[in-house]
Amino acid sequence: MRETGRMGTLEGQDVELDVTSIAHGGISVARLDGRVVFVTDAIPGEKVVARITDDRKKSFWRADTVSVLEASRYRQEHVWVAASIDRDPAVRAGGAEFGHIALAHQRTLKEQVLRDALERMAHITPEVTVEALPGDDEVSGTGWRTRIRLHVDDSGRPGPFAARSHTVVAVDDLPLATAAVEEVAPLDQRFPGEETIDVLSPSEGGARLIIGKQARTVVTEKVGDREFRLDDAGFWQVHHGAAATLTAAVQDLIDPERFDPRAANLDLYGGVGLLAAAVGDRFGQATRITSVESDSRATDHAAENLQEWIGASAVTGRVERWIRELTSSATATERARLAGATIVLDPPRSGAGKEVVEAIAGLDPAQVVYVACDPVALARDVALFADLGYGLEALRAFDLFPNTHHLETVVRLSR
């Protein structure tokens, strides 16, 4: 086999690959003449024909599966025709990269990715089970997205991006979306001059469109009997059952023996107050908790959503700066209240990072409950916490994004 730099490039050529394992990001791993190849739309154990898309790096190449020579027993007909390998990779819809894999095996692969990340980065091997949400198995992991973003091409037609590109793909259906979202999605309409169309179906008020940068409106989401108000374009969990699942998981993972309702409990990256409310509902109206969020509109909504708790407050600030200022200015009394605190955090995909982890550990809280949407970022931060004396005590993982590689993990850390 020719190698880049000696006999020219292989980019654009088809090669046979034996797929050996799964990697973070929804891609599988193969080798070609000893070089690692990250290949899409494959399953470990398969032999595939893949097209080399990038051979510029010495350490690894990238490729897209174009046909399967020896299929895994876990391969199924893709849940979304627009994303199947029957289409050219350049116009293969993104956002359902595990749709060709049986749902139970998708979870097995996600467990492997999470376990491998924790072993490699945090040097621990916890028991990992990715839990399904009720009803998902019965519909093959479809019909769960209450929010979806469509992009608009030069002709004005909306659609998803192709996988790993900014090419807009024309599609006729959106099988991962709820029925309400799919019904109003304007896939056959034209929006010249616009860039995005957001389609959402909140708990109340019916499905709606947000065209471009139109004026925002306020919507209501329900979690059990509790209502949360937020901007229609604001952040909310996408799976129709995710908010309730994470509420219950955070409540479950907080150790009640370590929880002090009078301590200076914190909800970092708090959004509109979902997890702060979870803590308040678990431990009563006297619970003190401060929710910190950089989006001022979300903070305004959090203040309203948390108003029934006397000790609850919502502040606007970048968590990195806010917690740094807290650690430098806290009085002895405030530090004593922080030392007994429970800190909940739900950072963005990039994770909390070294500065925030060090600041949290420096406050000496009783326990930390960390909600993560990226297993590698979580593993890195768990390792940082461990170096500062906070070990992983409990873990739960959830398949909040069926037919994609994403998962959500909730862990408890304590000294």
CA 378 to chain centre: 11
Residues 360 and 243 in one domain: yes
CA distance 128 to 111: 6
Residues 373 and 248 in one domain: yes
What is the reported pTM?
0.95
Tell me if residue 373 is catalytic: yes
Which residue range forms the structural domain that includes residue 217? 145-221
Residues 294 and 351 in one domain: yes
The total of structural domains in the chain comes to 3
Residues 116 and 197 in one domain: no
Q: 11 among the known binding-site residues?
A: no
CA distance 368 to 379: 15
Residues 315 and 392 in one domain: yes
CB 356 within 8 A of CB 332: no
CB 22 within 8 A of CB 45: no
CA distance 44 to 53: 20
Structure token digits, residue 161 = 């991006």
Q: Is residue 105 part of a domain?
A: no
- Dihedral class, residue 164 (left if φ above 0, else alpha if ψ from -120 to 50, else beta): left
List the pLDDT tens digit at each of the 415 positions of the chain.
Answer: 334 433 467 889 999 999 999 999 999 999 998 899 999 999 999 999 999 999 988 889 999 999 999 999 999 999 999 999 999 999 999 999 999 999 999 999 999 999 999 999 999 999 999 999 999 999 999 999 999 999 999 999 999 999 989 999 999 999 999 999 999 999 999 999 999 999 999 999 999 999 998 878 999 999 999 999 999 999 999 999 999 999 999 999 999 999 999 999 999 999 999 999 999 999 999 999 999 999 999 999 999 999 999 999 999 999 999 999 998 888 999 999 999 999 999 999 999 999 999 999 999 999 999 999 999 999 999 999 999 999 999 999 999 999 999 999 999 999 9
163, 174, 372, 373: which is the annotated catalytic residue?
A: 373
Q: 293 among the known binding-site residues?
A: yes
**CATH no. for residue 387?**
3.40.50.150
